[in-house]
Amino acid sequence: MLSQIIKMTSIQKPQLKDLDKVRNILAQWNDEADTEKYFSRVKNEIEGANEFNMKFWIAFDKEAIGIIGLCDLSPDLTNFSKTDKPGQLKILYLDNKKRGKGNGKKLVEFVEEEARKFGYKEFFVKSAEIYKDTGWGFYEKMVYKSVGLVDNKTHSGKSNIFGKTLN
């Protein structure tokens, strides 16, 4: 059954018609300010105003069910890098009704392959402490290792930094 669910999902570049659903997915996980920040970054890429070399993709299962992005490594994480070409998983959010069905795994595997195509040699994820119960274990299952903590600028507490070498 799980393999059928994964096969039904497609991953594509976002389009303007997808933005309402993207905002709804982001709002399930973020406060209004973060929702608008990520929403505007996705919209900017669609409109050709890309910043920080950010790229986004949306998972579909009849409708948009998740969003993921990658970018160059943010300056606050460079001390964790051991290669000359690190990248960063920027966002990963799934519609709450679509969690636990293999969609997150498929999105991460997809974006890791995209990262390899862009020449990234290692990949990092910064996950806020508010996602400790949802995200941290997931990234560990995806063979990411915790490499350190940084102060979280948006939320209280720390963000866990996870890293992985891309082969």
- The domain spanning residue 85 has which CATH number? 3.40.630.30
Q: Given CA atoms 138, 109, 98, 22 in this order, what sign does their dihedral have?
A: positive
Confidence (pTM): 0.89
pLDDT at 85: 96
Q: Which one has a higher pLDDT value, 18 or 52?
A: 18
- pLDDT confidence tier of residue 3, bands split at 50, 70 and 90: very low
Asked whether the predicted pLDDT for residue 69 surpasses 70, the reply is: yes
Query: How many domains does the chain contain in total?
Result: 1
Cβ neighbourhood burial of 152 (10 Å; 0-12, 13-18, 19+): middle
What backbone phi and psi angles, to 5 degrees, belong to 54?
A: -75, 140
Q: What is the dihedral of CA 46, 94, 105, 39, to 10 degrees?
A: 30
- pLDDT confidence tier of residue 94, bands split at 50, 70 and 90: very high
Question: 118: domain range?
Answer: 2-165
pLDDT at 50: 79
- Mean pLDDT (the chain, rounded): 91
pLDDT at 5: 45
